[in-house]
Amino acid sequence: MIYLDNAATTKPDEECLKRAEKYLYSAYYNPSALYAEGYNVKLALREAKKNILSTVADDINFDLVFTSCGTEADNQAIFCGGKRGNAVTTQGEHSAVFNAAMELKQRGMDVRFAALNGDGSVNIDSLLSLVDDKTSLVSVIHVNNETGAVNDITAIAAKVKEKNPHALFHSDGVQAYGKIPFRLTKNIDLYSVSAHKIGGIKGVGALFKRKNLVIKPYIYGGGQESGLRSGTENVFGIKDFEFAATEKYAELSKNYQTARELNDLLWQKLDKSLFVRISPTNNSPYILTVGVDGLRGETILHEANDNGLIIGSGSACSSNEKKRYSRVILACGIGENIADGVLRLSLSLCNTREEVQTAAQILNKIVKNRKEIMS
């Protein structure tokens, strides 16, 4: 089976699992415990925090809070940051941010959504026009999870702070972390990441936080994670995340180049008379999103599955239009005919050139055949 849905989740790295295994079987103690065994686990957590932090930030200006997933990190940022005045985000956010922002709106806050460009990146003029002196939070996704468009959040954050230095700037970095060369700058206050998108296991995420930024906890309890995220830490998952992240960042540029070559090859091999490119050319090399005119993405997904290829789709098999089309794809200005047939092909370094070529062949064949039937 060829797996091209790595933006949904990646295969856990076996080496990292083996290295982290001792935190399941022998060093299983509660890191908050006072005895030496517990303390040693706490030290291991500290080491994990330091190593993960160092991948994209320095530990003088930044800290991080471990969470149970990227969604939790996003929710913590949105609910702890969006406190007064208005909040500004984009129409291209993952549901973890979008629905949290909608909840803020439901609670009476003025929430504003910036328009997108055709490739899924945020329209910066639209975003800046929504920011004013009453804005308390701005959240912009780093890599659009549906199209692979990369937002230059360093530049965007600087422009936002120019307009309102007091607004918190958050970015959902789930599809960027461990994949795109990038460092956190002083204008970025909060940054969410997830372990299972880069070879870690599900159930672990983190929220990078500017060090002197004071935010309230999202989950209350025993005071773990400096009181910002109570609950006994998932030590095994966090150590596994540390090892996966360290491994990814050791060869980030090389990996980026490999993924770029795979992505280019995949697009090259797809029949241009059948597929429309939705991803921009300067997309994240880990995501290639294409559309098929007049066919449903889900139909192709099932048939690909039967032919040994796993991919993602941007539409659901529902007659309910609200559920049928992706709101992000529609916000890109893409018509319903293509929006119905969106396919997201997402790569990891486990994929080979041969796999990518075979995947393109399978998709070309399926779509050609299905178009003939449906014509």
Partner 1 sequence: MEKVILIRYSEIHLKGKNRGYFERVFGINLEKSLKGIKHEIRRRSGRYLVECFDEDQTDTILQKLNKVFGIHSMSVALKVATDLDEIFAAAKEVCSQGGSFKVETHRADKTFKLNSMEISAEIGGRLLQWNSKLKVDVHAPQFVIGIDVREDGTTLVFNEFFKGAGGMPVGTAGKGLLLISGGIDSPVAGHMIAKRGMNIECLHFHSYPYTNLQARDKVIELAKVLSQYSCGTKLHIISATHIQEEIHKKCNGDYMVTLLRRFMMRIAERLALNVGAQCIITGESLGQVASQTIEGITSSNSVIKSLPVLRPLCGFDKDEIIERSRAMGAFEISILPYEDCCTVFLPKHPVIKPTLEEVQKEEEKLDIEALISEALKSRETLTL
Catalytic residues: 317
Which one of 51-59, 193-201, 310-318, 348-356 is the stretch in contact with partner 1 (CB under 8 A)? 310-318
Answer yes or no whether residue 336 interacts with partner 1 by CB under 8 A.
no
Binding-residue total with partner 1 (CB under 8 A) = 16
Cβ proximity of 159 and 128 under 8 Å: yes
Which one of 68-76, 90-98, 266-274, 311-319 is the stretch in contact with partner 1 (CB under 8 A)? 311-319
Residue the block writes with tokens 């990190």: 73
Cβ proximity of 169 and 138 under 8 Å: yes
Answer yes or no whether residue 318 interacts with partner 1 by CB under 8 A.
yes
Min separation Cβ 306 and partner 1, Å: 7
User: Looking at beta carbons only, is 251 or 306 nearer to partner 1?
Assistant: 306
Min separation Cβ 320 and partner 1, Å: 5
Answer yes or no whether residue 19 interacts with partner 1 by CB under 8 A.
no
Answer yes or no whether residue 213 interacts with partner 1 by CB under 8 A.
no
Smallest Cα–Cα separation from 289: which of 354, 351, 334, 248?
A: 334
Residues 241-300 that bind partner 1 (CB under 8 A): 296, 298-300
d(CA 361, CA 275): 13
Min separation Cβ 318 and partner 1, Å: 5
Q: Indicate the burial class of 183 (C-beta count within 10 angstroms; 0-12, 13-18, 19 or more).
A: exposed
Answer yes or no whether residue 33 interacts with partner 1 by CB under 8 A.
no
Long-range contacts of 151-155 (CB under 8 A, 24+ apart): 151/121, 151/122, 153/188, 154/182, 154/185, 154/187, 154/188
Min separation Cβ 323 and partner 1, Å: 5
Query: Is 269 in a helix, a strand, or coil?
Result: helix
Q: What is the 8-class DSSP label of residue 29?
A: -
Binding residues for partner 1, rule: CB under 8 A, are 296, 298-303, 306, 316-320, 323, 373-374
